Amino acid sequence: MEKKIRIGITGYGNLGKGVEAAIKQNQDLELVAVFSRRDPASVGVKDPNIKVLPISEAENYKNDIDVMILCGGSATDLPEQGPAFATHFNTIDSYDTHAKIPAYFATMNQAAKSSGKTSIISVGWDPGMFSMNRLLGEAILPVGETYTFWGKGLSQGHSDAVRRVDGVKAAVQYTIPIEEAVNRVRNGENPELSTKEKHLRECFVVAEEGADKSKIEETIKTMPHYFSDYQTKVNFITEEELHANHSKMMHGGFVIRSGETGSGNNQIVEYSLKLDSNPEYTASVLTAYARAAYKMNQEGQAGAKTVFDVPIGHLSPKSPAQLRKELL
Amino acid sequence: MEKKIRIGITGYGNLGKGVEAAIKQNQDLELVAVFSRRDPASVGVKDPNIKVLPISEAENYKNDIDVMILCGGSATDLPEQGPAFATHFNTIDSYDTHAKIPAYFATMNQAAKSSGKTSIISVGWDPGMFSMNRLLGEAILPVGETYTFWGKGLSQGHSDAVRRVDGVKAAVQYTIPIEEAVNRVRNGENPELSTKEKHLRECFVVAEEGADKSKIEETIKTMPHYFSDYQTKVNFITEEELHANHSKMMHGGFVIRSGETGSGNNQIVEYSLKLDSNPEYTASVLTAYARAAYKMNQEGQAGAKTVFDVPIGHLSPKSPAQLRKELL
């Protein structure tokens, strides 16, 4: 058995927990330590044999960890942690503020180039697998349209917005692709569709005792930016129903490329995800890319990278010869 | 405008025609010449401005062509043409005899390494896009099962087999995924399924005048290797119906990875194709990979490659910065 690739996790929320679970499914990877800003005693890592350390000690482990998987959020954690860690470690992150990706890439590229490390940014399913399929779609079928649908899935931001409404005790919000729009795309009609013409929003709400449900419903449906432009359904349920039926962080969606070749032949390509656990799937993608970051760094490819730069063979523990034999 | 990438086509059957059409959809590519074993006057290239030359003259064009797309068949053309062209050109081919891929790779790697050229082999959708998705599936979700379904699509080999039956004037055969099997996989049941449990075969047959239709049907259904193990449907139609409804070379299929993460969360990933024209889609994939072969050769990456070795950003005419901004 070859030496295992040694992984560190920074940040132990849902994503970090998912990475811990994903590493256990890969024989060639081992988890060295989890780094957290919280008191290590309070972090509660699933495997009690795993070291939990304050994030300030991470640098001491730079010779013991081959790839650090950064499991913080894009708003405040990654802009700070990304460049700091890239100066000592190969890193993987799931930076997903689309508009700021070019700036984040530039910062990470500078940090990783100066240290000779490899940092693969914006890994996951969107950005990530969906991005790859958008690229493949237009590169292979340059005459055509690309459609991204999200859902059915739990949206954290929209659920939080509903929870802030007066009289709401608890709530979840699902983003759901509108079936008629999906079917038109799958049939090759190439319709023009805005985000709100592709998705509806469904809320499951637990009201406070004695709250005015019709007022809650109206407040949600008219909430600017979040709901007012969308078809929105509001369902009132009990707290028991919420816990029983709506506690999974399910998500998914699809990228469809509808192209035309030759003289009028329709060619439809679809990549779709149906996920019981959004954070665990994202974590599984990050974990596979940790292997790729390690290999690319061994090859001398320092700097920031994205899923567009990684030969996908590098994601697998199998040798190139084995991959050609078994999977091509 | 930068200099265009100059492409040559060897072999002008359905695949070569598809490549000619695909090049027209890409502003950064130009077709220099078509090479054929047939009398050039008889080849009938769609664009009359394109040079058609005997294959023996190809070597004279080694400084005028950046990438040669080999559109011959895997049985006899490519084993001979592949290594011969790789000693003078960057090449792309769609070699698809799965069991012989390792040997073909070794031969091509030796030829391309000795000439300093880049040869991407076994490009298309299976092998090709389906292979990529099989790899991604098991690398990201190592605990799970991968399923490949083909169809609904016209199978050339099986259509030929039906045409050889006594009393058959013309025929086509479709391979069709069995819906019940597909649904079990999509639901995450992870069933064990052989190829024949996943697909049925449907034939549309034009019988010769006065032929014994029930004998034809029985001969087809009991034909060893091709049909005897499968659920097979035989429909007799008129020659007019055959031409009107069954002349497109449609195909498609899907690769499904059904995996499990954490404690029992199902994660289903599906890549699917619905193609009006199988050869035109394959040709579009080859054409995008011609761009990648050119870029990899510019980077000094000589030798044989497969879709597993190519960073997918290389398939696009856009710059890495543009790709990050627009598609990530």
Interface test with A, best of B308, B314, B325 (most A CBs within 10 A): B308
pLDDT (tens digit per residue) in B199-222: 999 999 999 999 999 999 999 999
Q: Which residue in the set A267, A276, A280 is minimally distant from B275, CB to CB? A: A267
Q: What is the mean pLDDT of chain A?
A: 96
In b/e form, how buried is each residue of A146-171, taking b as 16+ CB within 10 angstroms? bbbbbbbbbbeebbebbeebeebebb
Residue with tokens 């994903």: A22
- The pLDDT confidence band at residue A49, using thresholds 50, 70 and 90, is confident
pLDDT (tens digit per residue) in B250-274: 999 999 999 999 989 999 999 999 9
Q: B182 CB near a chain A CB, below 8 Å?
A: no
Cβ distance A312 to B307 less than 8 Å, yes or no, reads yes
Residue A215 CB partners (closer than 8 Å, separation 6+) = A167
In percent, how much of chain A has pLDDT > 70? 100
Query: How far, in Å, CA of A94 to CA of A323, rounded?
Result: 27
Residue-level pLDDT at A45 = 86
Q: How far is CA B56 from CA A255, B34, B47, B51, B52, in A?
A: 44, 12, 22, 14, 12
pLDDT (tens digit per residue) in B272-323: 999 999 999 999 999 999 999 999 999 999 999 999 999 999 999 999 999 9
Which residue of chain A comes nearest to B187, CA vs CA? A274
For range B8-22, the mean pLDDT: 97
Residue B104 burial (CB count, 10 A):
21
pLDDT (tens digit per residue) in A224-256: 989 999 999 999 999 999 999 999 899 999 999
pLDDT (tens digit per residue) in A93-105: 999 999 999 999 9
pLDDT (tens digit per residue) in B175-205: 999 999 999 999 999 999 988 899 999 999 9
Q: Is the pLDDT of residue B39 over 90?
A: no
Q: Is the pLDDT of residue A1 over 60?
A: no
Contacts of B136 in chain A (CB under 8 A): 129, 312, 315
Query: How far, in Å, CA of A321 to CA of A276, rounded?
Result: 34
Contacts 24+ apart (CB under 8 A), A45-51: A45/A12, A45/A20, A46/A17, A46/A20, A46/A21, A47/A20, A50/A20
pLDDT (tens digit per residue) in A250-298: 999 999 999 999 989 999 999 999 999 999 999 999 999 999 999 999 9
DSSP β-ladder status, B29-36 and B51-54: parallel
Q: List B87's β-bridge partners, or say none.
A: none
Is the CB of residue B291 less than 8 Å from the CB of residue A140?
Answer: no
- Provide the ipTM: 0.95
Q: B288 CB near a chain A CB, below 8 Å?
A: yes
Residue-level pLDDT at A41 = 82
Q: Is the dihedral of CA A53, A59, A62, A65 positive or negative?
A: positive
Q: Is the pLDDT of residue B2 over 80?
A: no
For range A50-78, the mean pLDDT: 96
pLDDT (tens digit per residue) in A108-125: 999 999 999 999 999 999
In b/e form, how buried is each residue of B302-315, taking b as 16+ CB within 10 angstroms? bbbbbbbbbbbbbb
Residue-level pLDDT at B59 = 96
Cβ distance A328 to B266 less than 8 Å, yes or no, reads no
Q: Which residue in the set B101, B138, B312 is minimally distant from A324, CB to CB? A: B101
For range B59-84, the mean pLDDT: 96
DSSP β-ladder status, B90-93 and B67-70: parallel
- Three-state SS across chain B? CCCCEEEEEECCCHHHHHHHHHHHCCCCEEEEEEEECCCHHHHCCCCCCCEEEEHHHHHHHCCCCCEEEECCCCCCHHHHHHHHHHCCCEEEECCCCHHHHHHHHHHHHHHHHHHCCEEECCCCECCEHHHHHHHHHHHHCCCEEEEEEECCEECHHHHHHHHCCCCEEEEEEEEEECHHHHHHHHCCCCCCCCHHHHEEEEEEEEECCCCCHHHHHHHHHCCCCCCCCCCEEEEECCHHHHHHHCCCCCEEEEEEEEEEECCCEEEEEEEEEEECCHHHHHHHHHHHHHHHHHHHHHCCCCEEECHHHCEHHHHCCCCHHHHHHHCC
Q: A46 CB near a chain B CB, below 8 Å?
A: no
A294 to chain B, minimum CA–CA distance in Å?
Answer: 15
User: Which of A256, A95, A237 minimizes the C-alpha distance to A173?
Assistant: A237
pLDDT (tens digit per residue) in A153-173: 999 889 999 999 999 999 999
pLDDT (tens digit per residue) in B95-104: 999 999 999 9
Is the CB of residue A192 less than 8 Å from the CB of residue A258?
Answer: no
In percent, how much of chain A has pLDDT > 90? 92
For range B84-91, the mean pLDDT: 98
Residue-level pLDDT at B1 = 54
Query: How far, in Å, CA of B304 to CA of B70, rounded?
Result: 14
Q: Which residue in the set B262, B276, B310 is minimally distant from A311, CB to CB? A: B310
Q: Is the pLDDT of residue B227 over 70?
A: yes
Least confident among A3-7, A231-235, B128-132, B223-227: B223-227
Residue-level pLDDT at A2 = 73
